[in-house]
Amino acid sequence: MSDYFPFDKITADAPTPGFANGIGAQITEADKTVLEIYKKADANTKKNLDVELARSLQYGFTEGHTEILDFLKEHTELIHKPAYADWDLIASVGNTESWDSTLRTFVTRGDSILVEEYSFSSALETAHAQGVNTIPVAMDTEGILPEALSSLLDNWVGPKPKMLYTICTGQNPTGSSLSAQRRREIYALAVKHDFIIVEDEPYYFLQMETYTSDLEARKARHVHSHEEFVSALVPSFISLDTEGRVIRLDSFSKVLAPGVRFGWIVGQAKLLERYLRLHEVTIQCPSGFSSSLVNGLLQRWGQSGYLDWLIGLRAEYTHKRDVAIDAVVKYFPSEVVSFLPPVAGMFFTTTIDVSKHPKYKELGEDPVKVEEQIYNQGIEQGCLMIPGSWFKTQGQSNPPQKELPENPEAKTHIFFRGTYAAVPLDDLVIGLEKFGRAIKIEFGLE
């Protein structure tokens, strides 16, 4: 059948490890890795471990092709060092699909799951579309509060939730990242209350250096070696797992390109078998073109070259974050705005004390109404930042809980989400200056 495939070869140019021209820089003839992947296996160079098009464009291989799975297993062992023997991974078409498949596999309509107080709106809607109740867990600027989660579960009414869904590193929308200590405490609660932790980690490798305004200190803080890079990463939940109760959703979307649509799921082998049965009648397998190209790139880079690429991303995102936070410090009024510079991801948030807004009482002391005023003023000034209320987790278990822990600042503080990944840095600074002006106008500070 592959004789009738019209594609005899696909080619792509990629930077060569070492990345002398920097991440995202133009590829030159002197700094170029050429991928040529042919339809027939015997036309490819065996040492490259290519997935030939006759195979990648065919039906089957639902779990993913052996070559790329072997690379990802070695990568997982290098980075996460799973603590139990019976772990494995399978391919997906990205974390959104992986999350949808997780819900279809492990929960039933009417079940309750635990999610962060603010979460990725698409992830929440995926759960709601399947009739799943999303129960918010209180957060602060560093992510889930373990003590709030413990209180919620200790006082739970009815069947306890089967899983916790968390975007635990560079969280969308808050930009928060769980510390190693909080992850250990949350894992201990998963053991105590017997639930699965689903760590959705597309931003894991966008971890950054700690923010400082000292320009000289910035020059000296970057990691240089592979060992430094790996040791600087916050421990993942999968690395803490000793019982096979963590499912890790991973993806190339934020480290290569979103349109690659290739991800992978790491977890206990027996749990992954359930995904495989579902994938056989849903996605069937990831895109063959993506499978061949991504595998071809990784095989030519090797583990060392891929780490070099990730180290470069760390430096790039650190710089982008620094530019954004420098602008927030310069242009946002400290009288009403506070923030915690993110240590991972592509999002940052600014928290605003709405109780100081001149129309706070007139607007019924409703933080969402003040949020809307600020949002509209931002649009009027020519800048878009996304209101935090758009990401608010809404849900109630059945039967309802007697009392859900609340964030004590919820009635007086709001936040807006921004990103430093989507626009040129000069435009980012201009936009933040405009939004800072919008806040000043709204609070009568200009």
Domain ranges, ordered by start, for the chain: 55-304, 313-442
* Per-residue confidence band for 371, with pLDDT thresholds at 50, 70 and 90: very high
pLDDT score recorded for residue 174: 95
Residue 195 makes CB contacts below 8 A (sequence gap 6+) with 114, 160, 161, 162, 163, 164, 245
24 pLDDT more than 90? no
- How does the average pLDDT of the chain come out, rounded? 94
Asked if 89 contacts 264 with a C-beta cutoff of 8 angstroms, the reply is yes
Select from 208, 147, 138 the least CA-distant residue to 181. 147
Select from 193, 204, 205, 201 the least CA-distant residue to 245. 193
Distances (CA, A) of 202 to 71, 96, 197, 345, 386: 18, 10, 16, 9, 20
Provide long-range contacts, Cβ within 8 A and 24+ apart, for 321-324: 321/208, 321/211, 321/348, 321/420, 322/211, 322/218, 323/420, 323/425, 323/428, 323/429, 324/348, 324/418, 324/420, 324/428, 324/432
| CATH code of the region 55-304 | 3.40.640.10
Start-to-end C-alpha separation, the chain: 70
Higher-confidence position of 233 and 404: 233
What is the 8-class DSSP label of residue 236? P
Asked if 342 contacts 175 with a C-beta cutoff of 8 angstroms, the reply is yes
pLDDT score recorded for residue 407: 62
The alpha-carbon radius of gyration of the chain (Å, integer) is 23
CA atoms of 239 and 368, how far apart (whole Å): 39
SS3 14: strand
Percent of the chain scored above 70 by pLDDT?
A: 98
> Same CATH fold, 313-442 and 55-304?
no
206-231 pLDDT per residue, tens: 999 999 998 888 888 777 799 999 99
| Lowest mean pLDDT, pick from 29-43, 166-180, 240-254, 264-278 | 29-43
Average of per-residue pLDDT across 246-271: 96
CA atoms of 68 and 306, how far apart (whole Å): 13
CA atoms of 431 and 436, how far apart (whole Å): 9
| CATH code of the region 313-442 | 3.90.1150.10
| Lowest mean pLDDT, pick from 15-19, 34-38, 52-56, 368-372 | 15-19
Average of per-residue pLDDT across 356-383: 95
SS3 416: strand
CA atoms of 350 and 352, how far apart (whole Å): 6
380-395 pLDDT per residue, tens: 999 999 999 999 998 8
CA atoms of 92 and 62, how far apart (whole Å): 9
DSSP H or E segment with residue 369 = helix 367-381
pLDDT score recorded for residue 446: 78
Rounded to two decimals, what is the model's pTM? 0.94
